[in-house]
Each structure stands twice: as structure tokens, then as C-alpha cells.
Structure 1
């Protein structure tokens, strides 16, 4: 079973929430993403939640390219 220490990736206010709440949280719930940056993500890509960010096709494309590069070395 996979797990993640939510205190390392989420702001304090969100670290004790369950996964469903975290996925429905605004992108700014992630550590290092400010409210302003969250607003810019929404403006540019329609990202409103952590789940939206995870499902962004550009994220998947970039991640796949990075994985290909890592496995080619």
C-alpha cells in the first residue's frame, strides 16, 4: 500500500484532512502554492482543486517525458 506524509506536501490546515477533502481542496492547499498562484492556475488552465491539478494533461505529458529521460540513462 502506498502512502505519503501529508505534512510534507500540504499546508498545516490541510495536513490532517482525509484524502477526499485534500483532493477537493484548492491548489493552494499544497505547500509552496500561494493563493495568487492558485488563482493563476485557475485563470490559465481552469485548475480549481488539487484533483484538477493532478489530472492536468500537461502535467502528465511532462511527467511521462521526464520518466522516459530517466529510464534512458
Structure 2
């Protein structure tokens, strides 16, 4: 970007990827704020992240990253 590039933000970023990642980050912050991160917390977060990737591939047919 600093060299004159541009960032393209598609509609699915604002409607799917950003809300999901903000929600998972908020959940992780809530779990960490308890001061006792348990093993099942990690399983829940990992499961949600895997589900996010599966839904992203199923609905959008591609990884949520730009490939150049």
C-alpha cells in the first residue's frame, strides 16, 4: 500500500468475515478476562475457527485470503 497499491474490500468481507472474526475475538477476550483459560476454551475457539473456514469454503468457494 505504501508503494501505491490498493486494498480491495469485497462485500463478503463486511458481511461475513469481519463480523465473525470480531465476534470470535470478543469471545476470546471474554474467556481470557476470567483469568483461568481452560482446555475446553481452546477447543471451543479452535472449533469455531474450523467452522469459520468450512463455511467460508462452502459459501464463497475460496479461502478468505488474497492470492497473488
TM-score of the aligned structures, taking structure 1 as reference length: 0.30
TM-score of the aligned structures, taking structure 2 as reference length: 0.32
Question: Which structure has the larger Rg over C-alpha atoms?
Answer: 2
